[in-house]
Amino acid sequence: MEVINVEEPIIAVRVSQYPDDKKSEFLILGRSNVGKSSFINTIINRKNLARTSAKPGKTQTLNFYLVNKEFYIVDVPGYGYAATSKKQIEKFGVMIEEYLKQRVNLKHVFLLVDYRHKPTEDDILMYKFLKYYNLPVTIVCTKYDKVNRSLRAKQDDLIKKVLVPALGDEIVNFSSVTKVGKDRVYEIIENILNKNAWNNSVILL
């Protein structure tokens, strides 16, 4: 997949502000500071379109990035930041659940976890939450380059043991520095878009 064009994001906090063009959407979820912005910038081949920040929890809206005028990458607020107020946590919960329950355009979720650490309780709960809605999920392990080669097999086993991926869900190790995993993410997106295009053509027939 070649990324040719990415538009400035459509920013939304409620359903009425979502894009209404029925293009496929790929949701990016993860804890604060897991590397969501770096992941998005790597995938869309931009340095700073998705803003990276040293301060966790900066994203407070749903941001829809239109890629190649064909599909959206959807960035949402990070979860699990200790300094987040109870009101913000409740707002996040409502925003995410509203999106997951009502968005037929949502085709796939990329759940980001930090490869350097054992998945947190928040990561486990979020994965279970997504599976409650029967959503297909790819678990993306960010910051893969930060772990010594000799420790990676052990870390792979730990993440699988803790998250227990459902049948059909995949784990992809990813680095925004070395670009490991980038091509696999592209393949997943392309396969889904091609499948949707085929299904639509069958319906038209």
- pLDDT tens, N- to C-terminus, the chain (205 residues): 899 999 999 999 889 999 999 999 999 999 989 999 999 999 999 887 775 544 544 557 899 999 999 999 999 988 876 556 677 778 778 888 899 988 999 999 999 999 999 999 999 999 999 999 999 999 999 999 999 999 999 999 999 999 999 999 999 999 999 999 999 999 999 999 998 776 665 444 4
Is the overall model pTM greater than 0.85, yes or no?
Answer: yes
Sheet of 24-30, strand order = 10-12, 62-67, 71-75, 24-30, 106-114, 137-142, 170-173
What's the structural domain count of the chain?
Answer: 1
Tell me whether residue 54 is in a domain. yes
Tell me whether residue 1 is in a domain. no
Residue 166 has a pLDDT of: 96
User: Which CATH number do you get for residue 133?
Assistant: 3.40.50.300
Residue 83 has a pLDDT of: 54
Q: Report how far apart, in Å, the C-alpha atoms of 181 and of each of 5, 60, 61, 174 are.
A: 21, 27, 27, 5
Range(s) of the domain holding residue 110: 10-204
Structure tokens at 82: 């200790």
